[in-house]
Structure 1
Amino acid sequence: MNPIDNPYTPGAGTQPHELAGRDELRGSLSITIARIMRAKPAKSMLMVGLRGVGKTVLLEQMRQDVEAMGAHTIYVEAPENRSLPSLLSPQLRLALLKLSRLEQSKEAATRALKALAGFARSLKVTFNDIEVGFDQEPEAGLADNGDLEADLTALMVETGHAAKAGKTALVIFIDELQYVQTEQFAALITALHRCAQLKLPITLVGAGLPQLRGLAGNAKSYAERLFNYPEVGALDEESAKKAIVNPAKDEDVDIEEAAVKEIISKTQGYPYFIQEWGSNTWDLAEDNPITRDDVINSTDLTVAQLDESFFRVRFDRLTPKEKDYLYAMAKLGAGPHRSGDIAESMQKKVNEVAPVRNSLIKKGMVWAPNHGDTAFTVPLFDEFMLRIMEE
């Protein structure tokens, strides 16, 4: 096959040719946006899932979907070392400047920009990574108390009034939400709750690892009533087949049924792995149609590429003790595993390895599906650990 025509797109957050299996989630968000534009109640959405299931890709597609509905959006990714105010402030400024250009929302947006100026100045001491331009002078008493929860709530309320005046909605997209610190997450939840009470057209669409559910509940007890938590997982067989077959078909290339089944078996339906296997199989295949042998011939190369990119970048962040812990997990199988079983396999007591487990949770490498259980957040990472450690 001509590599220039390769329709598969492995990469971090790269939009695939066929976004299969996600129509229900996209439709659900469309309903939410339509409702809040009519001042009807609707829950915000926090999507949870393992690495490699396409959460980032889905967020971007959803952003495009809601903008096509006439909503305004802001999009941020939450890294481990940045504060939420520093991420939101510049994006809120851009959204408010757009609203200030609409005649019907100009006055409300100008007031919201004053609130943003007060918010940023008052919290600059606490969050010294806030960098945002000021388009209006702050108004005394407006979002400038220096208390994150109160000030963010005031800022979001003013922004909500601006969106309402503009007969639109503001949708906040945040990726990797599990990295937002608890007190900052709590402030955001409080602000969203107040906007919902006032029927203001602001909603959050977040994405993160499975522990996000627990983090939201720990931040605010009423979070379970404020959010829906749809799970983004591996594709079912029919959706995986579409993700494999349709991109090739659009290039007038067929894939034999046995080849499709082989890719699904190798990837377990995880979207990122499908893109990797599809891309390498395409490049190595010499004739149309693509066969099962082509898939098998691409496996060593695909596994090596995943090891050096998708898996290795996470492995290299680990301390020796963390590597030992994950290796012990891997030897027990894919999981989840009881923490006691992992400790026993390391010939340690649970309390001895508990700090290592907590560190791995903070790094987003493992999570606790149930109390006392531990599971990988990265699909097939157990197989990688066995390969890399035994080498």
Structure 2
Amino acid sequence: MDAASNPFEPGAGNQPPELAGRDEVREKVRIALERAKRGRSARGLILPGLRGVGKTVLLRQIGRDAAAAGGVVVTLEAPEQRSLPALLIPQLRVALLQLSRVAAAKEHAERAMRVLTGFTRALRVKYQDIEVSLSGEAEEGFGDNGDLEQDLQTLLVQVGAAAAAARKPVLILIDELQYVKVTELGALLSASHRLSQEALPVMLIGAGLPQLLARMAKAKSYAERLFEYPRVDALPEEAARRALVKPAADEGAAFEEEALAEILRQTRGYPYFLQEWGKHAWDFAERSPITLDDVVAASAAAVLALDEGFFRVRLDRVTPMERRYLRAMAELGEGPHRSGDVAEQMNRSLESLGSTRDKLIRKGMIWSPAYAEIAFTVPMFDRYLKRVIPDAEADEEP
């Protein structure tokens, strides 16, 4: 098999050769954008899911779909240490420049740009990570009070007016939305609510870890009514098969049925893992079709690649105490687990581990699917921890 023709693309956010199993979400966005373009209210989407299920890939594809349909796309990734205004301002400026090229929207877009200028100047003192400096005249008294919730509403309403005049919906895509601070998230939700009430064509599509839902509810009690929440999860069997079979067929290759079954068993349909196994099975196979023996031989390389490139980067972010907590969770199995059972596994009191648990949630390592329960945000992380820390007591401090 020619390695240069290998179609499989494991990597953080890499576009797979076949985006299988996500048509329903893409169709929801298409319908919502078309409604927004016609001046009708449309709910945005929030895409919760574990690591490795393809949220980033799906979000980027949604952006490409929207741009191809004539929309204006604002794409953000929310790192842990950046403020929402710092991320939004430069991207909204670009969006307004695009809208200003439409003659019918030019006046509205120019006014929105003046509001953005005032918004930026008013918030630079409060949010010192705002790097962009906008010159020109500000629209005095609009979006320049220094209160993020009020000002963001005013700003996005002006952006919406320009989008409506241009008949070009604006789509704001935010990845890793769980890292946006609750107060800033509340301001964004408040602005989304106002846009929906006024049927303006500005929509938010966000993606994040499962704990995002609890953060949104904490930020605004009405958050659940503002959006649709299609969960991004492992692929069903038919879609997982297509993610492997079609890219191989496009290169003139095939998988034997037993080989496919083994990859599906090993990966459980998680998109990132499918790409990793597909890549290594292709490289190990001497010829088509790829056989069960090829997959078995490739599995060790696939596991090693996941350990070094997908799992370890997350374990490297935790303290020794947090590491012990995660290993205790792994000893109990895949989960979810009761917090009390983890404490018992560590021979510690539940109260003494509360801070460790909270820090791991903030770091995106675990989440709470129900009261007093915790689970890994990374699929199969329990197996990885058992591989790299075979003895549950091996990582204890002396």
Question: Contact (CA 8 Å) 2:120, 2:134: kept in 1 or not?
Answer: no
TM-score, normalization by structure 2: 0.97
In structure 1, distance between residues paired with 2:139 and 2:343: 57
Q: Residue 131 of structure 1: CA displacement?
A: 2.1
Q: Which residue number in structure 1 is paired with residue 168 of structure 2?
A: 168
Report percent identity of matched pairs: 53
Question: Contact (CA 8 Å) 2:210, 2:367: kept in 1 or not?
Answer: yes
Bigger mean CA offset, 172-181 vs 279-288: 279-288
Q: Deviations over 1:206-264 (max 9, x none)?
A: 00001111111110011111011110000001000000111100011011000000000
> Structure 1 residue 263 and structure 2 residue 263: aligned?
yes
In structure 2, distance between residues paired with 1:373 and 1:303: 28
Q: Residue 42 of structure 1: CA displacement?
A: 1.5
Q: Residue 133 of structure 1: CA displacement?
A: 4.2
- The secondary structure found in structure 2 opposite 1:263 is helix
Q: Residue 39 of structure 1: CA displacement?
A: 1.4
5+ residue gaps, structure 2, are 392-398
Q: Residue 132 of structure 1: CA displacement?
A: 2.2
5+ residue gaps, structure 1, are none
> Structure 1 residue 232 and structure 2 residue 232: aligned?
yes
Report matched runs for 1:164-203 at 5 Å.
Answer: 164-203=164-203
**Letter aligned with residue 4 of structure 2:** I
In structure 2, distance between residues paired with 1:20 and 1:189: 30
**Letter aligned with residue 5 of structure 1:** S
TM-score, normalization by structure 1: 0.99
Question: Contact (CA 8 Å) 1:110, 1:136: kept in 2 or not?
Answer: no
> Structure 1 residue 55 and structure 2 residue 55: aligned?
yes
**CA RMSD after TM alignment:** 0.8
> Structure 1 residue 154 and structure 2 residue 154: aligned?
yes
Q: Which residue number in structure 1 is paired with residue 81 of structure 2?
A: 81
**Letter aligned with residue 356 of structure 1:** T
Q: Which residue number in structure 1 is paired with residue 394 of structure 2?
A: none
Q: Which residue number in structure 1 is paired with residue 396 of structure 2?
A: none
Q: Residue 287 of structure 1: CA displacement?
A: 1.4
Q: Deviations over 1:54-82 (max 9, x none)?
A: 00000011101111111111001000010
Q: Which residue number in structure 2 is paired with residue 308 of structure 1?
A: 308
Q: Which residue number in structure 1 is paired with residue 273 of structure 2?
A: 273
Q: Which residue number in structure 1 is paired with residue 395 of structure 2?
A: none
Q: Which residue number in structure 2 is paired with residue 299 of structure 1?
A: 299
Q: Deviations over 1:11-65 (max 9, x none)?
A: 1110000000000000011000011111112111000000000000000111011
**Letter aligned with residue 261 of structure 1:** A
In structure 2, distance between residues paired with 1:168 and 1:252: 41
Question: Contact (CA 8 Å) 1:171, 1:203: kept in 2 or not?
Answer: yes
Question: Contact (CA 8 Å) 2:20, 2:239: kept in 1 or not?
Answer: yes
Give the 3 Å change call, closer, same or farther, for CA 313–130 of structure 1 in structure 2.
same
In structure 2, distance between residues paired with 1:228 and 1:218: 17
In structure 2, distance between residues paired with 1:40 and 1:382: 46
- The secondary structure found in structure 2 opposite 1:390 is coil
**Letter aligned with residue 115 of structure 2:** A
In structure 2, distance between residues paired with 1:123 and 1:51: 33
Q: Which residue number in structure 2 is paired with residue 23 of structure 1?
A: 23
Q: Deviations over 1:123-174 (max 9, x none)?
A: 0011011122425311211110010101111100100001011111100000
Q: Which residue number in structure 2 is paired with residue 36 of structure 1?
A: 36
In structure 2, distance between residues paired with 1:234 and 1:140: 50
